[in-house]
């Protein structure tokens, strides 16, 4: 039996408000439906209605107009968005029908289903989630290099893009302060999610570090830390990186770190030359199934954390996971590290790095 309560309606209102206002700090996927040129601008830069191509639709009924006005008023829909009320259908909630509402803006569109009472006097929003499934059930961690204890209470899975400056910034929050604070209570696993539409050498970097991971876990993490801390060096000074130079530099760094770790050079060279993307794309597919659309995206014992967050926010999530796993978090004696630096060239000064190449 379903019951639509006042508290639930308040949660629904908050959900829709977040739909229009939440912005995470991170690198984001460019989708086919909304190209970079057509992405919705910040409100301060939004186009006037006269510049937005109108959506062709039939004249709304009096009820549809009331619904639109209610949705706009209660959920703070920006005025430049066009709201289209769809055709209602039978729902699983007694006394309510399903009513699709589509929000259009500058070439993009997003549809969500509301509930409307059969007497046309109440709107609500209901989502169902499958509690029987682990959020990371479809992600294979087999063979991934683990940083930390295999017996840790908490596992942080980071969907990472080695060219993303925000991932590099998040890396400075994770290492070394968070790693030192939690010691053996937390382990870290990187999953590949290169945003190839906007980061031209990210895929090559992911393949290279995985070639090294096949022979050296330590070498893998050293190289990941170095690339995150020196992205501007690999990209070069130009806004249009020399791809050949960037890839040669990545290959060089991989071979040098492999030499430091004493791996089999011939095996590493063969892997680098093949540039087999199969494993990376499997990781990307798993991330897409989790509806990841930007990096960094972390899962802390299954709890999703999107974008760059402060140390205090990160530690609060980790503490919660430790308590849930039956452990006791360490006291937070250290002051949270401030997140500073630009999005174009963040540095990871204290992360372990291989020596610069000559």
Predicted pLDDT at 19: 53
DSSP one-letter string for 102-125: EEEETTEEEEEEEEEETTS--EE-
Q: Read off φ and ψ for residue 343, nearest 5 degrees.
A: -80, -10
Non-local (6+) Cβ contacts of 296 within 8 A are 26, 158, 159, 160, 161, 164, 166, 167, 170, 306, 307, 308
Domain with 215, as residue range(s), is 146-324
Alpha-carbon distance of 249 to 336, in angstroms, equals: 34
Residue range 40-66: mean pLDDT, rounded? 58
pLDDT-derived band at 57 (thresholds 50, 70, 90) equals low
pLDDT above 90 covers a percentage of the chain that reads 64
67 contacts 116 by C-beta, under 8 angstroms: yes
Closest CA to 82 of 103, 65, 101: 103
Predicted pLDDT at 338: 53
According to DSSP, residue 183 is labeled: G
Same domain, yes or no, for 1 and 99?
yes
Predicted pLDDT at 240: 73
Predicted pLDDT at 358: 37
The tokens for 5 are: 């309560």
Same domain, yes or no, for 245 and 118?
no
Q: pLDDT digit string (tens) for 74-112?
A: 888 888 899 999 999 999 999 999 999 999 988 889 998
Parallel, antiparallel or unpaired: strands 186-192 and 154-160: parallel
Same domain, yes or no, for 175 and 306?
yes
Q: pLDDT digit string (tens) for 263-289?
A: 999 999 999 999 999 999 999 999 999
pTM for the predicted model, two decimal places: 0.69
According to DSSP, residue 349 is labeled: S
Radius of gyration of the chain (CA): 24
Which of these three, 128, 156, 184, is where a domain ends? 128
Predicted pLDDT at 55: 57
Residue range 56-62: mean pLDDT, rounded? 75
Predicted pLDDT at 75: 81
Predicted pLDDT at 269: 98
Non-local (6+) Cβ contacts of 95 within 8 A are 117, 118
Position 56 pLDDT exceeds 70: no
Predicted pLDDT at 6: 45
Q: pLDDT digit string (tens) for 253-262?
A: 999 999 999 9
Residue range 310-324: mean pLDDT, rounded? 96
Same domain, yes or no, for 255 and 292?
yes
Position 2 pLDDT exceeds 60: no
Same domain, yes or no, for 236 and 112?
no
Same domain, yes or no, for 186 and 313?
yes
Strand partners, 28: 294
Query: Residue 348: inside a domain, yes or no?
Result: no
What is the C-alpha end-to-end distance of the chain, expressed in Å? 70
């Amino acid at each position: 039996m379903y019951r639509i309560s006042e508290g639930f309606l308040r949660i629904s209102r908050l959900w829709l408000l977040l739909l229009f206002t939440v912005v995470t700090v991170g690198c984001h996927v460019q989708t086919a439906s909304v190209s970079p040129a057509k992405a919705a601008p910040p409100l301060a830069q939004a186009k006037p209605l006269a510049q937005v191509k109108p959506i062709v639709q039939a004249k709304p009924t009096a009820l549809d107009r009331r619904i639109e006005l209610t949705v706009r008023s209660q959920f703070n829909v920006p005025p430049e968005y066009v709201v289209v009320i769809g055709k209602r259908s039978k729902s699983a909630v007694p006394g309510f029908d399903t009513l699709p509402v589509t929000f259009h803006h500058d070439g993009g569109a997003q549809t969500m289903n509301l509930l409307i009472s059969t007497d046309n006097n109440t709107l609500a929003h209901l989502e169902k989630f499958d509690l029987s499934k682990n959020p990371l059930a479809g992600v294979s961690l087999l063979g991934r290099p683990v940083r930390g204890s295999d017996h840790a209470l908490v596992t942080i899975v980071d969907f990472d893009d080695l060219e993303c400056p925000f991932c590099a910034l998040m890396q400075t929050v994770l290492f070394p302060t968070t790693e030192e604070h939690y010691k053996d209570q937390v382990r870290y696993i990187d999953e590949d999610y290169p945003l190839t539409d906007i980061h031209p050498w990210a895929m090559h970097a992911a393949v290279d570090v995985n070639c090294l991971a096949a022979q050296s876990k330590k070498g893998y993490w050293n190289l990941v830390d170095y690339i995150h801390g020196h992205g501007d060096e690999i990209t070069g000074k130009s806004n249009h990186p020399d791809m050949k130079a960037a890839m040669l530099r990545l290959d060089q760094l991989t071979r040098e770190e492999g030499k430091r770790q004493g791996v089999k050079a011939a095996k590493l060279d063969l892997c680098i030359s093949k540039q087999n993307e199969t494993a990376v794309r499997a990781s990307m597919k798993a991330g897409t199934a989790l509806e990841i659309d930007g990096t960094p995206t972390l899962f802390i014992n299954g709890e999703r954390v999107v974008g760059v967050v402060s140390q205090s926010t990160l530690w609060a999530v980790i503490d919660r996971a430790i308590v849930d796993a039956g452990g006791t978090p360490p006291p937070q004696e250290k002051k949270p590290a401030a997140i500073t630096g630009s999005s174009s060239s963040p540095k990871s000064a204290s992360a372990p790095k291989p020596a610069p190449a000559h």
